[in-house]
Structure 1
Amino acid sequence: MAFIQTDTFTLRGYECDAFGRMSIPALMNLMQESANRNAIDYGIGIADLAQKGFGWMLMRFCLRMHQYPRYSQTIQLMTYPTTVEKYFIHRDFRVVAEDGTLLADASSTWLVFSMEKRSMVALPDFIRSLSPPTNVDPLPTLPTKPDFQMAAFSPTDTKRVEVGWLSIDQNKHVNNVAYVQWLLEAVDADVLQTREIAEIDLVYRTESHWHDWLEIQSMDETDSSIRHRIVQTESGKDVILARSRWRES
């Protein structure tokens, strides 16, 4: 059986920024919540996987903001799996206003890891056998390695953070949205106050844990795009690579 998750939310003050726009981390948190509800219907929620010794890990995520929801606005968020492969499952998101206006959409790629070995495994049969909806128009599948992942990176700004307890999720690693908040907080103050994100494209490379020290790096790519990188201070491993595109707000 195929399931499409549809949730309705009315934006609260703490989900909005200083200008009353919904914040990117708040939206991503709601998307993650809806995705887990959808996964539960399919029998592949966080608890379902944990019972079998597995966990979910986000590998790719690309969010496009067409029009920002604002404080007290009611939105409808839909999510559903689109394609199931040997190692990856792809999931789309759509956010619309009450009148049907498309506010945002996102595509994502997820993998499963062994809780014991903390390493990627092929999708178990109980996941590979699920049936994605057929009455949807899926977004293009994200490339495993986008162009910015392979390009040279010379950071112009670096900040350090220590992973706190409240950034850890049920899979015992840093929640994917926490990284996004850290990399956005590192953006130049003038950009944050005069522009808004049009798109953010993320590659998650490895997990990090409580008390890890991370370096949040950024570099201007063009007048309207910024490259981001988060690195484990001790190991030097890339945790996340990203590109954000900005427009006048």
Structure 2
Amino acid sequence: MAFIQTDTFTVRGYECDAFGRMSIPALMNLMQESANRNAIDYGIGISDLAERGFGWMLMRFRLRMHEYPRYGQTIRVMTYPTEVEKYFIYRDFQVLAEDGTLLADAASTWLVFSMEKRSMVSLPDFIRRLSPPTDLPKTTVAPIGKLSSRPIFQSADFNPTHTKDIEVGWLSIDQNQHVNNVAYVEWLLEAMRTETLKTRKLAEIDLVYRTESHWQDQLQIQSVIESPQAFLHRILHPESGKDVLLARSLWC
């Protein structure tokens, strides 16, 4: 069977920023919650994979904000898988107001890793047999579509102009025993310049997750201005020089 997950949430005060807008990490957490519920319906939830020695890992995520939800507003989060390949499964999201206005949308790419070897594996048969829905909800905005595994910004020259060091805390670790993907976004946004946070809004963020990190790891967040509206970001293990995450953000 094919499933489209739809969940209704009311934006709470602690999910909002200083301007009463829903924060990006809070929104992404709700989207992830809906994705988890959808995965459970398909029999591919976190516990279903854990029983077989596997875990989910997010590889790519691109979020577009069209209109920010605000405190007290009721929103609908919809999510569904769109395609299954040998190594990757693709999932889309829509965030809607009560009147059907598209507030945000996103596309994502997921992989499965071995909990024992901590390395990527091909999707098990019980996942590859999944049937994505065909009668997808219509929107006035063209969907993002399948994300490239190597976006252009990933190979752009990167000479950081701003850095911030961070130690991974216990509350950033999820059930897969590595840093939750939303925690990286929160760190990245917290490292933005004060003027940007106070005077502008994030319009889009495109993320490439490269490798996992764990409790008490020492990480460095780096950023550089690409254009008046865009920034490039990088989170890495400074000792090894390995990239944990690469990103590009657009602000309005």
TM-score for both structures, normalised by structure 2: 0.97
Indicate whether 1:159 and 2:167 are aligned: no
Alpha-carbon distance between aligned partners in 2 of 1:43 and 1:66, rounded to the nearest angstrom = 32
Give the structure 1 partner of residue 210 of structure 2: 205
The equivalent of 1:237 in structure 2 is 242
Counterpart position of 2:14: 14
Q: CA deviation at 1:139?
A: 3.9
Aligned to 1:44: 44
Query: Is 2:131 the partner of 1:131?
Result: yes
Partner of residue 78, structure 1 = 78
Residue 170 in structure 1 maps to residue 153 in structure 2: no
Q: After the TM superposition, which parts of structure 1 deviate over 3 Å for at least 4 consecutive aligned residues?
A: none
Distance of 1:232 and 1:169 partners within structure 2? 19
Deviation at 1:234, TM superposition (A): 2.4
Q: Deviations over 1:90-117 (max 9, x none)?
A: 0000000000000000000000000000
Higher mean alpha-carbon deviation, 197-206 vs 229-238, is at 229-238
Q: Give the secondary-structure state (helix, strand or coil) at the position aligned to 1:60.
A: strand
Amino acid at match of 1:10: T
Deviation at 1:235, TM superposition (A): 1.6
Distance in 2 separating the partners of 1:215 and 1:229: 8
Rounded to whole Å, the distance in 1 between the matches of 2:111 and 2:240 is 23
SS of 1:35's partner is helix
- Distance in 2 of aligned mates of 1:3 and 1:19: 36
SS of the counterpart of 1:83?
Answer: strand
Matching residue of 1:219: 224
Cα shift at 1:229: 0.2
Mapped to 2, the partners of 1:37 and 1:236 lie a distance apart of: 36
Distance 2:43 2:239 in 1: 38
1:228 aligns with 2:233: yes
Q: Hey, what's the Cα distance between the residues in 2 that align with 1:75 and 1:7?
A: 8
Query: How many residue pairs get matched?
Result: 247
Distance in 2 (CA, whole Å) between partners of 1:14 and 1:235 is 36
Equivalent AA in structure 1 for residue 90 of structure 2: H
Per-residue deviation, 1:140: 1.0
Output the CA distance in 2 between the equivalents of 1:225 and 1:22: 21
Distance 1:134 1:99 in 2: 24
> In structure 1, what is the Cα distance between the partners aligned to 2:115 and 2:224?
34
Instruction: Tell me the equivalent position of 2:33.
Output: 33
**What value does the CA root-mean-square deviation take over the aligned residues?**
0.7
Match of 1:117 in 2: 117
The aligned amino acid for 2:169 is G
Q: Does the residue aligned with 1:199 lie in a helix, a strand or coil? A: strand
Q: For residues 66-107 of structure 1, give each alpha carbon's deviation from its aligned partner in whole angstroms, at most 9, with x where no partner exists.
A: 000000000000000000000000000000000000000000
Question: For residues 26-54 of structure 1, what are the alpha-carbon distances to aligned partners after superposition, in whole Å with 9 as ceiling and x for unaligned?
Answer: 00000000000000000000000000000
**CA separation in 1, counterparts of 2:58 and 2:239?**
23
**Residue segments in structure 2 that go unaligned for 5+ positions in a row:** none
Query: Matched residues in 1 for 2:144 and 2:54: separation?
Result: 27
Q: Deviations over 1:118-158 (max 9, x none)?
A: 00000000000000000016641001000000111100011
For 1:208 and 1:189, the matched residues in 2 are separated by: 27
Amino acid corresponding to residue 133 of structure 1 in structure 2 = P
Q: In structure 1, the residue corresponding to 2:171 is in which secondary structure?
A: helix
**Identical pairs, percent:** 76
Partners of 1:38 and 1:227 lie apart in 2 by 32
